[in-house]
Amino acid sequence: MVSLEKRTPRVAYFCMEFGLHEELAIYSGGLGILAGDHLKSAADLRFPLVGIGLLWRQGYTMQLIGSDGKPYDVFPTYAYDFLKDTGVKIRLDIRGQETWCRVWMVDKYGNAPLYLLDPNVPENTEREKWINFKLYGGNDEARVAQEMVLGIGGVRALRALGMEIDVYHFNEGHAVFAGIELIRENMSRGLDFEQAWRKAREQIVFTTHTPVPAGNECHEHSLLQYMGAYNGLDYEQMKRLGGDPFSMTVAGLRLARVANAVAELHGHTARRMWSDVEGAAPIIHITNGVHRYTWQDEGIRKAWESGADLWAEHQRAKRELVREIGMRTSVWLDPDKLLIGFARRAAPYKRSDLVFGKPEVIEPLLTSGKLQLVFSGKAHPQDEKGKEIISNLVAACRRYPNSVVFLENYDMKLGRLLTRGCDMWLNNPRRPQEASGTSGMKAAMNGVLNLSVLDGWWPEGCRHGVNGWQFADGYEGPDQDQHDMECLYRVLVEEVIPTYYSSREKWQEMMRSSIEMAQYQFSTERMVKEYYQRLYC
């Protein structure tokens, strides 16, 4: 437990997206699901934390596969009847235009209260009503407007709701305008910029998730100024926070008293990446986790706890997945054959199609029926490379129609089915570009064995041949793709397949070790406690 000598800090957790449930389409992927799981564990632990987010009218893409085998994006407009109206409306100025936001609240998923800002109100002009239209959609201008609603609007919502906050947690750089708002508040009470910044800093913590330099969002100062994101500050002051162009991550590091990376290896990467940022907060690492009661199958949990027949429960979860796949795709996989799952955002560094690299190795395994593969994932709607990756996966399904399937529109429901019902979970990003990854933790908790390169969280969990397998030994050299592919095949052919078909006892022993490894160490219960002990305290 957190030491109670000091009052447990009251935390406001800011994030662009929250993945609480598939029916509330305000998330895109890993970042949002981490945020949703964070709120659920905070509630389980009765910690005084609230979430601040945006109500996305059209969510992220609903991505479907056309008959030409290519992904298409659909954006339904959502209406929810279960959001609670707090009665609070806040105002901020965007492009000099008065902009109002309603504040909704949702807590129906056993989560700490989540407050969602919504500019779709009658007081606003059409342009302002549509600020929160598509999550990660639109141009830079749209993004800055959204980030102003989240940051500036978020702080004002907390004030209007009458909430006392000790710690402002910016989960990723999207929320840094909240720091500018805190500085502005302090200055309006008579402090100069330096004092106001120092005071704000005592209350801010920041989590970085992006080990790829290009993934760190930057904005031109002229745009920020035009939008009103300066919020009373001047160019010199803004430049001291975020540089020129204005880097949201650099600003996060300079606005926070302490920052964190999301796995041990990511900690090393992030400290190296940001070592030359003057005045940056120290970067510690707190490894991600997942919310056990959301992601662990109840039957599997009970079987594991009581020592009952884990295999029977696993096969039940696998048959549920096989049925869902059959209903969706008309491909009926064999529940008695090895099934490997891979579901991820289609980004080149994640190498979704690495396993198909050498047809002479993979084809006999697929056509003989020894190996079955299920894929899922979305590409960002504006990412043509990502869409090509999806098309390649769909093409592989057509080459191997009985043993490879692709499930369109990856969401939390599919995430649950897949990380419970596969036998094995494959993960092969280019190390060290995966900050953490969490789907493998969900899999591990269900006894779905990980087969992964040593990136993200896996170096902390992996005991090769005991609770899963690693391949490539942490290689980061030239020909990384070729090297990693050869290593993947070697482990697959020499270790995984023989164990599955010839040493079922050992496989089941490994499943137990996997659950034991994951269920606390990679839970958000452990993670949220660590945030309180090391970041919020």
Give one DSSP letter per residue of 144-157, joined into a string: HHHHHIIIIIHHHH
Residue nearest to ligand PLP (CB): 415
Residue of 136, 410, 458, 471 that binds ligand PLP (CB under 6 A): 410
How many whole angstroms separate alpha carbon 242 and alpha carbon 255? 9
Least distance in angstroms from the C-beta of 127 to ligand PLP: 31
Among 216, 439, 470, 499, binds ligand PLP (CB under 6 A): 439
Integer Cα distance of 243 and 250 in angstroms: 7
Residue 22 or 123 with smaller CB distance to ligand PLP: 22
* From candidates 169, 344, 420, 430, binder to ligand PLP by CB under 6 A: 344
C-alpha–C-alpha distance, residues 399 and 67, integer Å:
15
Beta carbon of residue 438, minimum distance to ligand PLP (angstroms, whole number): 5
Query: In angstroms, what is the minimal distance from the CB of 255 to ligand PLP?
Result: 26
Total residues at the site for ligand PLP (CB under 6 A)?
13
Q: Looking at the DSSP assignment, which residues form a beta bridge with residue 359?
A: none
- By CB atoms closer than 10 A (0-12, 13-18, 19+), residue 468 is buried
**Given the rule CB under 6 A, which of 127-135, 262-270, 410-418, 513-521 is the region that contacts ligand PLP?**
410-418
Which of 411, 423, 525, 530 touches ligand PLP (CB under 6 A)? 411
- The residue (of 81 and 298) whose beta carbon lies closer to ligand PLP is 298
- Choice between 149 and 444, CB closer to ligand PLP: 444
Looking at the Cβ atoms of 196 and 488, the one nearer to ligand PLP is 488
Q: Is the dihedral of CA 326, 503, 518, 15 positive or negative?
A: negative
Beta strands in 243-337 (DSSP E): 246-247, 258-261, 283-285
Q: Per CB under 6 A, which region of 56-64, 435-443, 484-492, 508-516 contacts ligand PLP?
A: 435-443
Among 438, 452, 514, 519, binds ligand PLP (CB under 6 A): 438
Q: Residue 412, interface with ligand PLP (CB under 6 A)? A: yes
Residue among 279, 38, 57, 292 at smallest CA distance from 171: 38
Q: 495: closest CA among 455, 458, 449? A: 449
Contact yes or no for 49/13 (Cβ under 8 A): yes
Our finding on whether 33 is near ligand PLP (CB under 6 A) is yes
Q: Which two tokens stand for residue 23?
A: 């029916």
Q: Give contact residues for ligand PLP (rule: CB under 6 A).
A: 29-30, 33, 344, 410-412, 415, 437-440, 442
